[in-house]
Each structure stands twice: as C-alpha cells, then as structure tokens.
Amino acid sequence: MNQAATMTRQLKFFEAIREAQDQCMAKDPSVYLMGLGVPDPKGIFGTTLGLQEKYGPGRVLDIPLSENALTGVATGSALVGMRPILTHQRLDFALVAMEQMVNQAAKWHYMFGGRARVPIVIRMVIGRGWGQGPQHSQSLHAWFAHIPGLRVVMPATPYDAKGLLISSIEDDNPVIFLEHRWLHGISDHVPEDVYRVPLGKARVARQGTDVTIVATSYMLLEALRAAQTLSEQGLQAEVIDLRCLRPLDDATILESVRKTGRIVVADTGGKAFGISAEIVALVSEKAFSDLKAAPERIALPDFPAPTSPALSDEYYPRAAHITAAVLGMFGRQPESSLFDVPKGTRLDQPDSSFTGPF
C-alpha cells in the first residue's frame, strides 16, 4: 500500500480495537483475550471477530458467566507472566467483579510493597440508547477513577482507541478501558502499524479562546457539535478530549482554563460525585483567579437511565445543552430552535444505521 493510502486509511472505532488486540497478540505471546461471548458470531460489537480463528481457543476464549472469578483468574494469570484482556459487554456486568478489581487487582502492587505486578486490561462497554435502561447503560467511570492503582482510559476516537489500547496492554498495571457503544461505529484515520498513545495525556481537539469544554468519551462528539454552533455565533470554544481519567492530565486542563477563563465539563456519567465534580474542583483549587464565570457541568441527572425513548430522550444531554450553558456564561439566551430535533432523527440511536437491539 502506498504511503498516501496508508495516511488516509479509515477504520471504525470497533475495527481499531480489534486491530490493536490482533497486533498485540501477534507480537507478544503472553497476551490473551477472554470474555463472555468473545468468539460469538457478532464478536463483541465486531471487536473480536476472527481472533479466535487466528490465535486459537487457547488464547482467545469464551468464559463461564462468572465475572468475579474470571477477573481473579485474569489477575492470577498476570501474576505468573500472562497479559490478559478481559471483556465485558456492558460496564454494568463488570460490577459483579468490583471486589476483584478494587480490593485485589488495584491494590496488589502496593500492598505487597511493589513485589508483584498485575498487567491486565479490562474492556467495558458503556451502553446507551435503544432502551438499554438502568442496568445496561451505566457510565461509572468515576468509580474506577477513584481507585488508586487502576488506570482508567476512555478513548473518543478510533485513532486513540487503537493507540490507547496498545499502551494499555503494554502497561504493567490493571487498566479499565471504557468504550462507549455510540462510538463503535465512527470512522477515523487509523495507521496500520503498531503505535502508542501515552496514558495520562489529554488532547486538544479544537483550539479556542472563549471557553474550555472538557469532554469525556462520547460527549466529545457533542462538544464538537456545540463548538461548531458556538462558532457560528461568534464564540470560539477550546475542546479538550480527556481520553484518560487516571492518570488525569491536570496540566492541559489548567493551561486551557487559564487562557479562556471559562469551563464547561461534558461527561457521560452522572453529575453528582463524578468526573465533572473532580475537574471543577481542580480548576477551583488551581485556577480560581483565572475564572471569569462559574464552572458549568453537563452530565446525567441524579437517577438511573429510564428505558422508554420518551423518557431517555429527555435524560441524555446533547450539544444543545452544552451550547446553551456556554451562551449563558456570556449572558446570552439561546435561540428557541436550539433544542429542536430534526425530523426523522431519533435520539435513542447513535445514527440511522443502528437498528437495535443491543
């Protein structure tokens, strides 16, 4: 393939994840992949298709419905030199394994005085839309970000999905790797070769001078849409793709807020006691004198996700909410049409190509 084609090769987010795993397994025999349904015909939303055929059932395997024990198994195998990738089709399923993730894997290196390492990657999917409801759509990344000893990664682009997953697999610590269901189908330039995106570095997705919008995961897309609308109204937003929660890139956030004086945090999780609270605290502590307006947070309300689209349509904030929040910081009212939903657009699917059910 000539260089020009390599430079512009487009992959979908799910294909980028698949490729990262494939390339890591090809170059390192200690890497293996397991999870409920990994060899399924649908291949965990396409992220594991063909891998069992290529690497065999010894390295790419289905598991019993025992998330807690299998997280322990991943930890134990890592202690003796393997590098497992464990998948959960929903973050909600991983909650069954909180004890192993938080009490054991996260603390093993510390509580044994640095004598052992747990190089595991646990991939989880954050669900949304099509009536996923209260137990198939939680975005509890703040729970994991709260735990010392874990790395917590949330890529928002296919390029980062591959680069961050490779870095995560090569990291010697337990990494919680969170994929948003509504990002699986987006396309981006993804290089063919092995490359790494370092953990702990945020990315400035769009430069601006009037307001900083820090976004996690899928909310990056809504933040960029809001930035476009704001630009048409004369306000330039600087959009930061957080992409890694632990370690957190304080420096990039603070540098931006010191420049713009205003911050909106757009998070896929709950507003209460979550990521947006942590970032607002950071900015209040370290850039208080640079703030020209109170911080704004765009996140989920303080109750579980309802199932009916009539309810979930109102539950999830979108670009319009971010835009309105920024306009409010400048004492401006949004146009009445800002919250209009184009005819034929359904808010409980990422795009019209998604027709259910999972």
Partner 1 sequence: MTDLKLYRAMLHIRLVEESIAAHYPEQEMRCPVHLCIGQEAVSAGACAALGPKDYAMSGHRSHGHYLAKGGDLKAMLAEIYGKATGCAGGKGGSMHLIDLNAGFLGATPIVGSTIPIAVGAAFGSMMKNEDRVTMVFFGDGAAETGVFYESLNFAAVKKLPIIFVCENNFYSVYSPLEVRQPQDRSIAGMARAIGIESIEGDGNDVELVHRVSAEAVKKARAGFGPTFFEFTTYRWREHCGSEYDNHIGYRTEAEYLAWKAQCPIARMEARMLGSGKASQTALDEIRAELDKEIKAAMLFARQSPFPNAKTMSADIVAGQPA
Q: Which residues are known catalytic residues?
A: 67, 136
Q: Is 72 in the site for partner 1 (CB under 8 A)?
A: yes
Give the integer Cα–Cα distance in Å for 77 and 83: 8
Strand order in the sheet with 263-270: 203-206, 237-241, 211-215, 263-270, 296-300
Q: Which stretch binds partner 1 (CB under 8 A): 60-68, 258-266, 287-295, 316-324?
A: 60-68
Distances (CA, A) of 266 to 48, 82, 172, 218, 342: 30, 37, 30, 9, 22
Spell out where the chain has E strands: 10-12, 31-35, 60-61, 83-88, 121-126, 151-153, 175-180, 187-189, 203-206, 211-215, 237-241, 244-246, 263-270, 296-300
Q: Is 80 in the site for partner 1 (CB under 8 A)?
A: yes
For β-strands 244-246 and 151-153, DSSP reports them as antiparallel
User: How long, in residues, is the chain?
Assistant: 358
Give the integer Cα–Cα distance in Å for 140 and 101: 14
Q: Of these, 69, 251, 311, 341, which contacts partner 1 (CB under 8 A)?
A: 69
Q: Is 156 in the site for partner 1 (CB under 8 A)?
A: no
Cβ 60 vs Cβ 39: under 8 Å: yes
Backbone angles phi, psi at 64, to 5 degrees: -65, 165
Nearer to partner 1, 151 or 181 (CB): 151
Q: Is 43 in the site for partner 1 (CB under 8 A)?
A: no
Q: Of these, 27, 42, 50, 111, which contacts partner 1 (CB under 8 A)?
A: 111
Nearer to partner 1, 110 or 273 (CB): 110
Give the integer Cα–Cα distance in Å for 162 and 11: 10
Q: Is 14 in the site for partner 1 (CB under 8 A)?
A: no
Q: Is 88 in the site for partner 1 (CB under 8 A)?
A: no
Q: Of these, 37, 73, 258, 309, which contacts partner 1 (CB under 8 A)?
A: 73
Q: Which stretch binds partner 1 (CB under 8 A): 19-27, 134-142, 143-151, 317-325?
A: 143-151
Nearest-approach distance from CB 174 to partner 1, in angstroms = 9
Q: Of these, 6, 10, 103, 228, which contacts partner 1 (CB under 8 A)?
A: 103
Q: Of these, 50, 134, 247, 301, which contacts partner 1 (CB under 8 A)?
A: 247
Compose the 193-232 pattern: x for residues touching partner 1 by CB under 8 A, - for all others. Answer: -------x--------------------------------
Nearer to partner 1, 243 or 246 (CB): 246
Give the integer Cα–Cα distance in Å for 42 and 33: 16
Nearest-approach distance from CB 58 to partner 1, in angstroms = 7
Q: Of these, 76, 185, 309, 334, which contacts partner 1 (CB under 8 A)?
A: 76
Q: Of these, 10, 28, 42, 99, which contacts partner 1 (CB under 8 A)?
A: 99
Give the integer Cα–Cα distance in Å for 302 and 42: 34
Q: Of these, 7, 26, 27, 66, which contacts partner 1 (CB under 8 A)?
A: 66
Q: Is 249 in the site for partner 1 (CB under 8 A)?
A: no
Cβ 27 vs Cβ 79: under 8 Å: no
Nearest-approach distance from CB 2 to partner 1, in angstroms = 37
Nearest-approach distance from CB 144 to partner 1, in angstroms = 13
Q: What is the DSSP string of 128-155?
A: -STT--TTS----HHHHHTSTT-EEE--
Give the integer Cα–Cα distance in Å for 355 and 352: 7
Q: Of these, 40, 46, 63, 315, which contacts partner 1 (CB under 8 A)?
A: 63
Q: What is the DSSP string of 70-117?
A: HHHHHHHHHHTT-EEEEEESSHHHHGGGHIIIIIIIHHHHHHTTT---
**Chain positions contacting partner 1, by CB under 8 A:** 30, 32, 58-59, 63-64, 66, 68-82, 99-100, 103-104, 108-117, 119, 148-149, 151, 171-173, 200, 246-247
